Chains A and B, each alone.
Chain A
Amino acid sequence: MLLLKVENLNVYYGAIHALKGITLEVNEGEIVTLIGANGAGKSTTLKTISGLLRPQSGTITYNGEVINGLPAQAIVKKGISHVPEGRRIFPNLTVMENLELGAYLHRSREGMKKSIQEVFRRFPRLRERQKQMAGTLSGGEQQMLAIGRALMSRPKLLLLDEPSMGLAPILVQEIFNIIKEINEQGTTILLVEQNANMALSVAHRGYVLETGRITLTGSAAELISSEDVKKAYLGG
């Protein structure tokens, strides 16, 4: 079933034309990855879907409903949660407060407690550090917190922007295992990565973005074996 459809999206930063008519689809239950070089427009795509940016033209349909133009808080409420590039946790708030803010729109005590326990089960290290200021966590822990915080709103669709950025290889593997697990438990994922290898290893399908345009799309297997992708993103 089609969960998200982005059609002919054009986004500008002032005079800079960052997205030049991109179209993509995400079906329920999938991991879809959006790969591309630095500056291709990956983050811009996610920010537009989550309502941080407004498109000049084009439509974003989620669950059969047009959502572009809605404020970000209305879009979270509909079940789209965005883990932004660079994690953007609140460094001067405790780990617990960060998680609570993730459930800002779902504040019933019981539901909140349950969500927090689920996040702690998935990320036991966050439980140990719940009273610590989030800024004192290591990079990997901060990424876990960012993902955990996004899961607090119980999203149907999770947007992940470069979750592996700046992490040691062993942590990258751990984060991708978690992404897979979250997906297997029923959350649809749109994953943005520069680490194409890793992204294609967990994704079902992918899109290649180059300077604001989708240049290639296919199943993860097709993209991994594509000569163009190999040359540009897989180092050979």
Chain B
Amino acid sequence: MAGFLQQVINGLSLGSIYALIALGYTMVYGIIQLINFAHGDILMVGAYIGFFAVVYLKLNIWWAFIIAMAGASLLGVIIERVAYKPLRNAPRLAALITAIGMSLLLENGGLMILGTDIRSYPVGTITNKQLPLSFLGIQLTATTLQLLILAVTVVMMIILQYIVHYTWTGKAMRAVSYDRDAARLMGINVDETISVTFALGSAFAAVAGILLGLYYNTIQPLMGIMPGLKAFVAAVIGGIGLIPGAMLGGFALGVFETMVSGYWSSKMRDPIVFILLILILLLKPAGLLGRNNTEKV
């Protein structure tokens, strides 16, 4: 029992990073129906911006988060404007292939500029201690890093919920994602709204990038690939385009993955995740929270 609960704790902290990444996938999909395959690589750029802020600018981790979010947002907006916007009325496959190309560009650009060196955030970037926890009399441990990851994720999610549901920007985002032309008739600037969505999604990716860098204690130019794919799976599990779905999918996948490596084999962890993706696509393509939208006449 203690072992199982311990896996849940580990799974939730990894899962919350997946959830942060999945939110960006799902927001972008919701608004322009594009799987932004470069999303994982934006995460990598965010992680590096955070790294340079800590190492060269000697800033603390909180400033690193903020600068990384700003930098990644800018990158996300530029990618959308330059690569995706011209294809907005083109067949979806064209945009999808462009997204894959953008991903390769960022990965190889990263390798070229940053080299293949594996870096890590300096010791002491955050204080990492083991904390004893007791749950119904069962002794467990969590690290301060795990708690930081959970706390940051929860705060980011609350901020996102607030933006989406209570601000004009959020209302515009929802309107554009449901019906672009109807949104234009309300006076909403669709291009601006799409940019804001990319900015938000990329800021979330940057936070996830730094958290991943701290969690695995490494950053490298290809670090976004696997978490990006996993988060994509998480978004599909929850129902692509649905914000609560991305959160649920992220947490669920994190716990599932941790269980698979804990109780079965860590070699099976990645293959099982992709088998899960195939099963979801076959059995419930709309995702756990998705339903087939019936139109009302």
The residues in A between 100 and 144 inclusive whose CB is less than 8 angstroms from any CB of B are 100-102, 104-105, 107, 135, 139, 142
User: Chain B nearest CB: distance from A86 CB in Å?
Assistant: 9
The residues in B between 128 and 175 inclusive whose CB is less than 8 angstroms from any CB of A are 168, 171-172, 174-175
Residues of B within 8 A of A (CB): 168, 171-172, 174-175, 178-179, 181-189, 293, 296-297
Q: Which of A76-84, A170-178, A201-209 contacts B (4 or more CB under 8 A)?
A: A76-84
Are B185 and A82 in contact, CB atoms less than 8 angstroms apart? yes
User: Chain A nearest CB: distance from B55 CB in Å?
Assistant: 44
Chain B residues contacting A105 (CB-CB under 8 Å) are: 186-187
Are B181 and A88 in contact, CB atoms less than 8 angstroms apart? yes
Are B186 and A102 in contact, CB atoms less than 8 angstroms apart? yes
- Given A88-B181, A135-B296, A153:B187 Cβ within 8 A: yes
| Cα distance A32–B151 in the bound complex, in angstroms | 60
Chain B residues contacting A88 (CB-CB under 8 Å) are: 179, 181-182, 185
Chain A residues contacting B178 (CB-CB under 8 Å) are: 90-93
Are A90 and B184 in contact, CB atoms less than 8 angstroms apart? no
Are A73 and B187 in contact, CB atoms less than 8 angstroms apart? yes
Chain B residues contacting A104 (CB-CB under 8 Å) are: 168, 171-172, 186-188
Chain B residues contacting A52 (CB-CB under 8 Å) are: 181, 184-185
User: Chain A nearest CB: distance from B165 CB in Å?
Assistant: 9
Are B186 and A93 in contact, CB atoms less than 8 angstroms apart? no
User: Chain B nearest CB: distance from A117 CB in Å?
Assistant: 19
- Given A90-B175, A142-B296, A73:B189 Cβ within 8 A: yes
Chain A residues contacting B171 (CB-CB under 8 Å) are: 93, 97, 100-101, 104
Chain B residues contacting A90 (CB-CB under 8 Å) are: 174-175, 178-179, 182
